Structures are given as structure tokens and as C-alpha cells.
Structure 1
Amino acid sequence: MVGALCGCWFRLGGARPLNPFGPTVVQTSMSRSQVALLGLSLLLMLLLYVGLLGPPEQTSWLWGDPNVTVLAGLTPGNSPIFYREVLPLNQAHRVEVVLLHGKAFNSHTWEQLGTLQLLSQRGYRAVALDLPGFGNSAPLKEASTEAGRAALLERALRDLEVQNAVLVSPSLSGHYALPFLMRGHHQLHGFVPIAPTSTQNYTQEQFWAVKTPTLILYGELDHILARESLRQLRHLPNHSVVKLRNAGHACYLHKPRDFHLVLLAFLDHLP
């Protein structure tokens, strides 16, 4: 389940009843135990606040339209990439959405979250990829270099005949999306970075040179990678920024309804 992001189990031993005639050290021991439990509770609350645990939003914004068929397969060639794909149910939009993923996830995340189904309902073709070494994609030697990662992504889009791509790139997938973005491929029609990694590898001048329409998304409680990436991504000349309130690093999981609304608004207004 999408909500099962972090399970924390604690086994607390049963305390012996206090002996009113016993030494006071027993009472002191119990008092320290209670303090320890209180401290543990406060620590968990702090983790939730800073977004490390970031509880998913309790929402019905999970889509399972039986009319939407999620296709799956491998791209051809010697370096296959596993993908999931949906076709538009209604009149197709010109842009096509390519969804990458973070370190703890894969293409199945976007099906579980309902993003693929929702995009299909709204008339978009959408493709979610398993990056090399994740999900159903085997590790690939080319993924060890920046140029290799950009080439892998370019080849996957070509093999899948994706035109006018809008690239959604959370977290780890910045290793692939940013080299691809910097090369200015003609099929990249939009960019949606969600606190991506690797922004520090590029100069302010390199970001300035990118004209791709960009929606910068991040969670309010992501105080580390979101801030670091935002510092660099703000140099993109054609961008807007949206902060999802009460969401952590994987803000699309914590606030799926808000994420979907913002993403659809961005897609619907692309030229």
C-alpha cells in the first residue's frame, strides 16, 4: 500500500507493580522509564514535523477506473527499460507525460497512486519508467556516467515513440532528468522537478540557458533536498514554484490530491 511508507514497531516490556514498602529507588526507576517513553514520543512527533516520516494524506484521491488499461513491457535493444503505459481515454493532448521515480520507488508507484489512470482520464498518454537497477529494470553499465544516463533516457523515449514529453522527476531521478534537460532535446516540452538530486552539478549559466517550461514542486516539510535543489532550479528562466503544505520529501505521496491538481493545471496550460 502507498500509505505503508515507514513502519515503526516498539516492544515495551511490562513494568512490575510498585511496592509501597520497597526502596524509593524503584519509584525513581519507574519515573525514568516514563520520561524515556515521553522522550521517544516527542522524537517521533519531531520526525513527523520535519517530514522524515511525512504521513500520507488520508484521501480518496486514488483512482482505479476499470476503463483504464495499464500496459507494461520492456523497451527493445540490448539495454531494455521496463515501463508502464496508459493511453488517453478521451481526445488526446499533444504532450505526453513521462514519470520517473525516487530511490525507494519504481514505476508501480504511479499506478498505485492513480497518477497513470488520472492522466489517461484527462486525455494524456503517460509512461512511467523503472530506472536501471530498480523495479523490473536490470542495472546497466551506461547508468554510471552522466552522458550514459542522458543517452539511456533519450533512447527509452525514442523507443517508446514519445513526442513532446513532459518529464516528471522526483528525487534520485534527477541523475537522469537533469543531464537530459541540459542537452535541450527537442522532445522535452515541459519539466516537473520534485526536489531532484544533482542540481549542484550544474552552473547558474547552464540553468539560465534552459527555456523549457518548468513547474518546481516540493513539500513544505522537506528542509534539506528541496531547499538545495530550489536554490539552483530558480535560475531556470521559465519556471513557476508550488509548495505543497504539510508534505515531506515524497510530497506526491503525502498530498496526492494537491499534487494531481497542480500537475494537471500545469499540463493543461502548456502551449
Structure 2
Amino acid sequence: MLLVRSRLWLLLLGALLALLLYLLLPAARRSRPDEGKRAWWAANGTVRTGMAAGEPPVFYREAPAAAAGPGRPDVLFLHGQAFTSKTWEALGTLALLAGEGYRAVAIDLPGYGDSPPMEMALTAQGRRAFLDRVLQELGMQRPVLISPSMSGRFSLPFLLAHGDRLAGFVPIAPVGTKDFTAEQYRAVQTPTLILYGDHDTGLAPQALQNLQHLPKHRVAVLSGAGHACYLDKPEEFHRALLGFLRQLK
């Protein structure tokens, strides 16, 4: 009798476990974000999207726009060497632009943040192709490209080759400006806001010297700000950026 009771208890226990697994597993599957689909966390979205066959995914953050304004361009944020897409999230830039009706997206460049390294990022041609694929994957047509410091290695080759695919360009003391000639810059018709802090005595003067050859440029200098001027003077930075975005057609 004792043996029979033990077997009955084991059968009941097994049935209960099977029922729990049946109920819990579908819920787990439903709650798991699929690759390439958006998963919203708090105000901002974190998304992984496939780049191309054989390429690892890129990580990016996007603040959902409350009401997208008609004719307003998308805005894509790159980052400097010591930063990631989190910088623009923490600074409130993504949320600010989204509140103004812009689709604002910040990505982690290859090998930074949550984006794995990519072999294609080793050459200027590969970095240009990388941005091309990012725009395709994000469905961005003629966005405004924000490019501080190190990200100039990505943005400048793209600007020089595909400037007509950008509604605007905002270089913030980018590296690599001396790699191109004045004639190459003069051929670019992309509206540009050259932005830097007046305490940046390293990259900013060199970048200004080269980028001033862009025919459709204007300059904004943030007083009392250093190389990462958007961190030193966020309100002034946001004001200058929004002013530039609003005058684009």
C-alpha cells in the first residue's frame, strides 16, 4: 500500500510540473523580443537589427516621437571614442528631439557599447558602406547626421561620397578632416552646422580649417565648453541643434 501511495504522489507531482511547464513556456516565448523587432524600455527603445548577410547586428537606441512633424528629417547620432549611444539617451537629446517631432536614433558604432566589432570598419570604404547599410536597415531617407570626434572616420567618407543622401550634417570637432582636400569639400552641397566648444584647442581648430570649405556651412561655438561640448553645455548644444534642424527644408 505504501508503495502504491508513493507512486500516486510521484504521478501527481509529475502532472503538476507538466502543467506548469505548459503554462509558463508559451508566456516566456511571447515575452522574448524577436531579432529585428523593437522592445521598448522606459521612454527609449533598444533595438538589434541585422545589418546584412554574414554581418553581426548593430545596437541602437530610439526615443519614440510623440507626433512626427511633417517634412521633418530623421536624425542619426554617432558618438566619440569614449562614448556610446547611451550618451545621447542620458543627455536627454533623443527624448528632446522626439518631443519636437523628429525621429531621433543613436547607434553604437562597431566595437563600441553593445555592437560587436566588424571587419568592414577597418577601412574608409568599409565604414562608408557600414553607414549606408545602417540607413537602409533603419529606413532613413536623407537624415541629418550628427558626428562628434572619432565618428568622423565614419561620417566624412559617407559625406564626401553620398552628401546628397543627407538632409544635413553636424560635425562636432570630428577626426579625419585633413584626409580630404578643399576641392572635395567644395563639391558637397549638404547643409552643415560646424559645432564645437571654444575650449577645444586640439581638434576643433583643425576641423574648422578643413570643414569651412563646405559651401553650405554655418558655425556655432559653445562658450566655456571643451571637446565634448554637448556634455559641458547641453542646453546651448540642444538650442543650436534645434535651430539648425528647424531651418532645414
Coarse TM-score class (shorter-chain normalised): 0.7 to 0.9
Tell me which of the two structures has the higher relative contact order, counting C-alpha pairs closer than 8 angstroms and 6 or more residues apart: 1
In structure 2, the residue matched to 1:220 is: 198
User: Residues of 2 paired with 1:186 and 1:224: CA distance?
Assistant: 30
In structure 2, the residue matched to 1:144 is: 122
- TM score, norm. by length of structure 2: 0.80
Letter paired with 2:46 = A
Of 258, 261, 267, the match for 2:236: 258
Of 50, 67, 85, the match for 1:90: 67
Q: What pairs up with 1:201-240 in 2 under 5 angstroms?
A: 201-240=179-218
Of 149, 152, 155, the match for 1:177: 155
The 3-state SS of whatever aligns with 1:205 is helix
Contact 2:68–2:103 (CA<8 Å) still a contact in 1? no
Letter paired with 1:203 = T
Answer yes or no: is 1:74 the counterpart of 2:74. Answer: no
Post-superposition shift, 1:128?
0.2
The 3-state SS of whatever aligns with 1:133 is coil
Which stretch shifts more, 72-81 or 242-251?
A: 72-81
In structure 2, the residue matched to 1:166 is: 144
Stretches of structure 2 lacking an aligned partner (at least 5 in a row): 1-41
User: Residues of 2 paired with 1:150 and 1:87: CA distance?
Assistant: 27
Identity of aligned residues (%): 52
In structure 2, the residue matched to 1:41 is: none
Letter paired with 1:247 = A
Deviations 1:162-214 (A, max 9, x none): 12200000000000000010112543110000000000100000000000000
More helix as a share of residues: 2
Post-superposition shift, 1:94?
2.6
Contact 1:215–1:266 (CA<8 Å) still a contact in 2? yes
Runs of at least 4 residues off by over 4 Å: none
Q: What pairs up with 1:1-271 in 2 under 5 angstroms?
A: 69-76=43-50, 77=52, 78-92=55-69, 93-271=71-249
How many residues are paired up? Answer: 205
User: Residues of 2 paired with 1:91 and 1:246: CA distance?
Assistant: 34
